[in-house]
Structure 1
Amino acid sequence: MSKVVLAAIHSKYIHSALAPWCLAAAVEEYCLFPHQVLVREGTINQPDEKLLELLTGDAPQVLGLSCYIWNWTAIRRLLPRLRQCLPDTVLVAGGPEVSFCSRQVMEDCPEIDYVISGEGERPFSLLMDRLAAGKDVGDIPGLSFRRDGRPVILPSASSREIHPSPYTPAYFAALGNRIPYLETSRGCPFSCAFCLSGREDPVRFYPMERAQKELLALAATGARTIKLVDRTFNCNAARTKELLEFILAHWGKEIPKGVCFHFEVGADLFDEETLALLSTAPKGLFQMEAGLQSFHPQTLAAVSRVTDMKRLERNLRTLIAMGNCHIHIDLIAGLPDEDLETFGRSFDLAFALRPQMLQLGFLKLIHGSRLRQMAPELGYRWDPQPPYECLDNPWFHPADRQALHRCEDALERLWNSGRFCLTVEYLLESTGLRPFELFCRFGDFAAAGGDLTGIRLDEYTALLWKWGKDQPGVEMETLRDHLLCDRLRRDNTGRIPPCIHRPDPRVGEVKRLLRESLDLSGCDGAGFGAAILSDGQTAVALYRDKDPVTGNYPFVLCSREQLEKGPIF
């Protein structure tokens, strides 16, 4: 019996693996020879010595490495030492980071014996049996190897198979308190030039009974978030409704309250019936990530992004207005035919929807994408190291990229964090700035003060206070009021940042009244927070029952008379 270690190296501890467990289940199901398969998981943040211990400690005969843009640099760095520690072990690499450049990998990484391109369940199982039997591997689809010192690259085969479930007792034992991932379909109906998913076989759906069974099993693990890795969860309307109805029917029973399901969706694909169904969901049960990428028609056409933009915008407005689903939408900077001005217009249109999260991402010229193949003739330059971020192109210059990185930092801290949303809304209204202008200008201001890595919340609040109160149209006391309210409803310490703290003898009496009237059982942190605003009203936050969509605690503005009358929540 051969010992096989399948290794996954994550970007963060909270992530879990799916691919190694898919391969492990396939070996169990498909192989004719017995193999002992172990899955080992680490993170890129661990010291190399720890990772080497993880990968070599079992002394495997075969070591399989799942390769992605986030771990390829670490794997490349470890390969020489892996070969030293395991001189007789067969090293097999697979995953998207090596699937589309297997010849280059074989030439650049002499330590790697085999590369498997594309879907790995069948090829990896065949390879394990051929190695065990000492037979030739020259007809395994998708396999790359060396013969007489030269790389041999075999094309991968199309597959319509439904492979065995990766959710074995060993998987659940290893999961711990990390995020589990669920796959109920493979493939993507679209062929966007910046993505790999459109290169795969047509979408194939797993049997509904299996999808429902696995969904319930993952919901019972104690995980707070379950992420579906389906490329476009809602590409089949009837199936989408059936799965959503199943989740809603089991919520509060087999699916514990507090569990959240995260989907990647095409927002324009929702029909009215599905939107109506989603409107009935408990708050926080669903998160949806909608990748609109751009509002610029020429850009969408250049990357083959087929989207009904009017319907997408209408559906997103409907979903966000419901207030029960966390909505995350994406923009990509650096796409063809989109300069800083047109990107800014896309940004403003996206921000106008007021999603809980607007991600400003940067184009990555990943191996296997059509855009990477087109990039030289389009005039692209990109970082040769993972994640291959676009450096410039005829529409997107290095200065633009740097400005957008500062804008992204401000967007993450001010809006996506949820910590300054009221203040951002006030600044937009009072200054008349477009959203893109506001985030760019404050991003520039904040970055000019030095490195923001590790900056404390109070220090960042002080930066916003310093910048905001000097902007035309901003009334200083009103700005302070909004900062106070933002801080109180997000931070359960109830503490006021030093930059806007003012001693007020009335606060002590207000807090006494609140302690007498509020039920503080089950509260977080300080129990409640309070501050007196410039108009004499009291802002009060109760640190219990945090909103699962916005992350805000219950919050009210009230007069002294209302406080004296009794409970305000």
Structure 2
Amino acid sequence: MKKRKVALVILHTGRPADLASPLFHANALFLLKAYLESRPEIAARYEFEIIDLRRHVPYNLGLAVEQNIDIVQEVAARRPDVVAFSLYLWNVEAGQALAQVLRRFLPRAVFVAGGPEVSDRREFARMFPGFDVLVEGDGEVPFRRVLEALARGRRPRDIGGVSFLQDGRWVHDPRTAELAPPDEIPDVHAANRGLLEGRGFYLTTRGCPYDCAMCLWARQPMRRRARERILTELAGLIDSPLSGLTLFDYDLLEVYARDPAFFDRLTRLVRARRDGFGLNFFVNPRYLTDPRLPEVMDAFRSHHVLVGLQSTSPACLEAIGRGWSRAWLGALEQAPPAIRSRIFLELIFPLPGQTSAGFLASLRRLLALGYFRLQIFQLCLLRGTALYRRRRALGLRHLERPPYACIATPSISADECLRIGVLCQALNLLRDLADAAPDRRPFAEYFRRDRKVLDRLLAPIDRGATSWDVADLLSREITGRPLELDHAR
């Protein structure tokens, strides 16, 4: 029996980064492929190929550009029966455009969309009509069910989390997707060792116990792989060409609070590398004062630890479903000064109830305390989140198409959102500069010495300066050199 072909398409990744390996750029597709190939009934009927299109320019201009012709050729030449995309806010427009053109060359193919963008399937189908089947939530089991139905010549009916197009109308199954036990998914890193390069990331869990209003992770139940399986996979990743690894669990110290042996085993694995390899990880703000934090950071040779602060305003935290973290704000001032320069603080702007003055005051305070490695995200109103459902009641204005950025709130005008957004991006660029600096003390000293620096930086922004211009100014004042980063200007 001739096997049907399934093309799993990797689109562009949105921004330059040191995640050089497609295993991390498109982790979901590799996990999906590994799971499906491990199922005998699927492997007997289908063959799977991951098609990596990242070397081309993003597809969005039709067939008029030479690279776009090559993109269409790379997929169409395989003559796949099924073409599947994992879609995010940075590639969904390109995926939609590519699917619509590929349909002209592959009229019998079934086009499947999954990934975080496929939240609220009815709305997704309205906005992105280029697909035949939609898979919402974890894709392993639902996509397997879809392929089983297609192999029998049937519609993918009665599959939780799946919608399909029939006679021009969408049929939606409102049930949530069936979940695959985490340990049923093979080790994709061991199977693709030749693709490991640059920095990587790893999740020991899926889901999140919190219910943040702006985040899609809040919709997923917590699941965790077996401890020995985790350590075996981490051992393989650490003993690989990777230069470093980030553990992307929501809070490493909380997940393994009662398992000191886990940290001991992991420390030995890291220390076996003699080339400076290190592990970065996430913690909640409350662990900034935990005596274990600097110990674990040193043991793991952590370049940085990521802290999902999001805001220093109790009211803003309450508005986004993070009221539980208000009690931990005091940890910012109580944290040992020695570790502050090793902390990545994540913030979001603009938030409901936030004001420009309040946000700038928060930035001044954090910079004065020595937290200059900031990652400030623009609030994106993602379909499927609680904040998206409440957006009109909260008076939040946002872009209707990706990246769905919030551009105004009742307390912050569109002009102010843009103005402060440029400042935030300049501080993000400065963080990247500090990351590469052999000595980060001048950065901390600069912000401690000059408490009015943000006001000085807003002046050129008001005259039309870009975030790169502002970051370049900061670089010259702090290091005496112009800004030089790998980012495209």
Name the TM-score class by shorter chain. 0.7 to 0.9
Q: Distance in 1 between matches of 2:196 and 2:138?
A: 27
User: Retained in 2: the 8 A contact 1:261–1:286?
Assistant: yes
Which residue of 343, 346, 349 corresponds with 2:359? 343
Match of 1:405 in 2: 421
User: Retained in 2: the 8 A contact 1:302–1:337?
Assistant: yes
Match of 2:305 in 1: 288
Query: Closer, same or farther in 2 for the Cα pair 1:66/1:199, shift >3 Å?
Result: same
User: Retained in 1: the 8 A contact 2:460–2:470?
Assistant: no
Q: Displacement, 1:312?
A: 5.1
- Indicate yes or no: 2:387 matched with 1:371: yes
**1:394-447 CA-partner distances (Å, limit 9, x unpaired):** 0221121122123224423445522696666566566552xxxx2242243267
Q: Distance in 1 between matches of 2:111 and 2:297?
A: 50
User: Retained in 2: the 8 A contact 1:262–1:288?
Assistant: yes
1:283-432 equivalences under 5 Å are 284-285=301-302, 287-309=304-326, 311=328, 313-314=330-331, 318=335, 321-322=338-339, 326-355=342-371, 357-414=373-430, 416-418=432-434, 428=447, 432=451
- What code does the residue aligned with 1:350 have? L
**1:119-175 CA-partner distances (Å, limit 9, x unpaired):** 1111111111221122342121111002332111112235372231241555323x2
Match of 1:444 in 2: 459
- What code does the residue aligned with 1:199 have? R
Which residue of 11, 25, 29 corresponds with 1:16? 25
Query: Closer, same or farther in 2 for the Cα pair 1:146/1:319, shift >3 Å?
Result: farther
Tell me the TM-score normalised to structure 2 length. 0.84
Q: Distance in 1 between matches of 2:474 and 2:323?
A: 44
User: Retained in 2: the 8 A contact 1:18–1:181?
Assistant: no
Q: Distance in 2 between matches of 1:430 and 1:401?
A: 27
Match of 1:5 in 2: 7
313-322 or 161-170: which moved more? 313-322
114-123 or 224-233: which moved more? 224-233
- Indicate yes or no: 2:101 matched with 1:81: yes
User: Retained in 1: the 8 A contact 2:187–2:233?
Assistant: no
SS in 1 for 2:171: strand
Q: Distance in 2 between matches of 1:32 and 1:426?
A: 62
- What code does the residue aligned with 1:303 have? I
Q: Displacement, 1:221?
A: 2.4
Match of 2:185 in 1: 164
SS in 2 for 1:235: helix
**1:502-544 CA-partner distances (Å, limit 9, x unpaired):** xxxxxxxxxxxxxxxxxxxxxxxxxxxxxxxxxxxxxxxxxxx
For structure 2, the 5+ residue unaligned runs are 59-66, 485-489
Q: Distance in 1 between matches of 2:93 and 2:473?
A: 36
RMSD: 3.2
Q: Distance in 2 between matches of 1:50 and 1:260?
A: 38
Query: Closer, same or farther in 2 for the Cα pair 1:231/1:153, shift >3 Å?
Result: farther
Match of 2:150 in 1: 131
Tell me the TM-score normalised to structure 1 length. 0.73
Query: Closer, same or farther in 2 for the Cα pair 1:214/1:346, shift >3 Å?
Result: same
1:264-283 equivalences under 5 Å are 264-269=282-287, 272=290, 274-275=292-293, 277-278=295-296, 280-281=298-299
Q: Displacement, 1:196?
A: 0.9
Identity of aligned residues (%): 25
User: Retained in 2: the 8 A contact 1:107–1:151?
Assistant: no
1:500-515 equivalences under 5 Å are none
- What code does the residue aligned with 2:111 have? L
User: Retained in 2: the 8 A contact 1:21–1:166?
Assistant: no
For structure 1, the 5+ residue unaligned runs are 466-481, 492-569
Which residue of 199, 203, 226 corresponds with 1:179? 199
- Indicate yes or no: 2:73 matched with 1:53: yes
1:249-264 equivalences under 5 Å are 249-253=268-272, 255-264=273-282
Matched positions, count: 459
- Indicate yes or no: 2:50 matched with 1:39: yes
- Indicate yes or no: 2:237 matched with 1:218: yes
SS in 2 for 1:248: helix
Query: Closer, same or farther in 2 for the Cα pair 1:217/1:176, shift >3 Å?
Result: closer
SS in 2 for 1:76: helix
- What code does the residue aligned with 2:381 have? L
Larger Rg: 1
**1:420-477 CA-partner distances (Å, limit 9, x unpaired):** 96666566566552xxxx2242243267365565x699xx359956xxxxxxxxxxxx
Match of 1:494 in 2: none
**1:183-235 CA-partner distances (Å, limit 9, x unpaired):** 2101101001011111112x111101111111111122211122333233333
Query: Closer, same or farther in 2 for the Cα pair 1:276/1:232, shift >3 Å?
Result: closer
Q: Distance in 2 between matches of 1:321 and 1:424?
A: 14
State the structure with bigger RCO (CA 8 A, min sep 6), 1 or 2: 2
Query: Closer, same or farther in 2 for the Cα pair 1:36/1:393, shift >3 Å?
Result: same
